Amino acid sequence: MSEVVNKTLNIGICGLGTVGGGTLALLTDNADEIRRRLGSDIKVTRIATRTLDGKDLHRVETVSSDVFDVVNDVDIDILIETIGGYDPALDVIKRALSKGKHVVTANKALIAEHGNELFEIAQQNKVVLAYESSVAGGIPIIKALREGLAANSINWLAGIINGTGNFIMTEMASKQRQFEDVLAEAQKLGYAEADPTFDIEGIDAAHKLTIMGSIAFGIPLQFDRTYTEGISQITAEDISYAEELGYCIKHLGIARRSGKGIEMRVHPTLLTKSRLLANVGGVGNAILVHGNKVGATLYNGAGAGAEATASAVVADLIDLSRHLNSGAQAPLYPALGYWEMDEETPVLDIEDIEAEYYLRIPAVDRVGVMAKISSILQDHHISIEAVIQKEAISETVPIIILTHTAQEKQLNQAIAAIEALDDITGKITRIRVEPFHGEAT
């Protein structure tokens, strides 16, 4: 077999934190494997990092504290952006693409919120902005949606796409612990940031869902249209009641094609315990994708961490290197999987979706209360599937209701009417139920 002779590619890394450091380590540890796959070397020639102390950089030719040194280096073929956040990461990527450099990024927020603009810049300059590592760490879900399932019309996808939230929900369920206690432990273990808002309020998951939904349905990135609801209001009691009904609660991202448009929503969700996603515990991630021809496929693994995310960064780097060494002049496939994007199909408001619901209603322990609640639900065309009425706590009794499928707008109206009753002592807790109705196991 003749020897493959390809150009050694020069790589610049902007940001040497968890992901950037993991990427540099992986390129060093697996250098022989990568060389065999490519038939050539990948060489990290320049790194920009804010702090140099305590970092093993002796293998890198040039190190500086200015990220734009990497952008302006004419010898860099591919720039890896692992700075995170918006500033200066957005400007770094824009400038690099405009200068004709290919870019690999792990920055989910930038792709979800600025991706439409960035991909346009990349296309104009005939370069690639690769972003596999922006969603679900080491799970190759972008490639699966964009390439592996390209022959399918995607019906829906649903996923556990934030490890911090899944750790919290798993601990609350398995040990009957309260949210605040588990969050504190997650922070101590390094799973949650000092400010955990992005994780526990669903923003991180919404960024990832926005990206996956765009690829799945060929629609522009629309983070501002993705409904986002966190887990901070879930109690150990809700988890216990759900279990009594045969469910567990998971924080899911769900994207679905319906007759009215595209649903894009992140929220706590009741799943029957037999479902695949119901059995994903700890900090793990998993995404279930349903194509019209292939059916349901599951992608499961480490959704965060230095090594898992670096695996996806380097996978993009290898793809790009193969592309460059092939002599191809233009990207081989569209960034979001479609050359023709669907600009017409709307992303639905949450009030326009239809779902089944779990309701926890704090009511006075009094005869006739359940009849009033049932009457209001019936007036709003909402039928009841199951009811649990627990023992009174002081003078209040929690009433647990599972509904059949209803429109969210009508449920909101019914909740407002029920909360207005003198017999109701507080806010009603509402959690959506995702039954899949035979669409997945």
The catalytic position among 94, 101, 108, 208 is: 208
How much is the mean pLDDT over the chain? 92
- For the segment 41-78, what is each residue's pLDDT rounded down to a tens digit? 899 999 998 876 655 566 667 888 899 999 999 999 99
Report the 10 Å Cβ neighbour count for 267: 22
- For the segment 83-132, what is each residue's pLDDT rounded down to a tens digit? 999 999 999 999 999 999 999 999 999 999 999 999 999 999 999 999 99
- For the segment 235-252, what is each residue's pLDDT rounded down to a tens digit? 999 999 999 999 999 999
**β-strand partners of 154:** 291
* C-alpha closest to that of 137 among 289, 17, 309: 309
């023709």: which residue's tokens?
340
Q: Residue 312 pLDDT > 90, yes or no?
A: yes
- Alpha helices in 99-150, H assignment, sequence order: 108-124, 141-143
Q: Which amino acid does the sequence have at 19?
A: V
Q: Residue 5 pLDDT > 60, yes or no?
A: no
Tell me the domain boundaries of the chain: 9-137+306-325, 155-302, 350-435
Q: Residue 4 pLDDT > 50, yes or no?
A: no
Res 1: pLDDT: 37
7 flagged as catalytic: no
* C-alpha closest to that of 76 among 49, 95, 57, 51: 95
């990207």: which residue's tokens?
331
9-137+306-325 and 350-435 agree in CATH topology:
no
Q: How confident is the model at residue 326 (pLDDT cuts 50, 70, 90)?
A: confident
Q: Residue 440 pLDDT > 90, yes or no?
A: no
Fold of 9-137+306-325: Rossmann fold (3.40.50)
Region 212-225 average pLDDT: 98
Q: Residue 230 pLDDT > 80, yes or no?
A: yes
The helix/strand/coil state of 37 is: helix
Res 7: pLDDT: 78
pTM for this predicted structure: 0.94
Answer whether 270's CB lies under 8 Å from 249's CB: yes
Q: Residue 3 pLDDT > 50, yes or no?
A: no
Report how far Cα 121 is from the mean position of its chain's Cα atoms: 24
- List Cα–Cα distances, 185 to 177, 180, 188, 231, in angstroms: 11, 9, 5, 16
Q: Which CATH number fits domain 155-302: 3.90.79.10, 3.30.360.10, 1.10.579.10, 3.90.1150.10?
A: 3.30.360.10
Q: How confident is the model at residue 2 (pLDDT cuts 50, 70, 90)?
A: very low
Q: Does domain 350-435 have CATH number 3.30.70.260?
A: yes
- List Cα–Cα distances, 280 to 159, 176, 322, 331, in angstroms: 10, 18, 35, 36
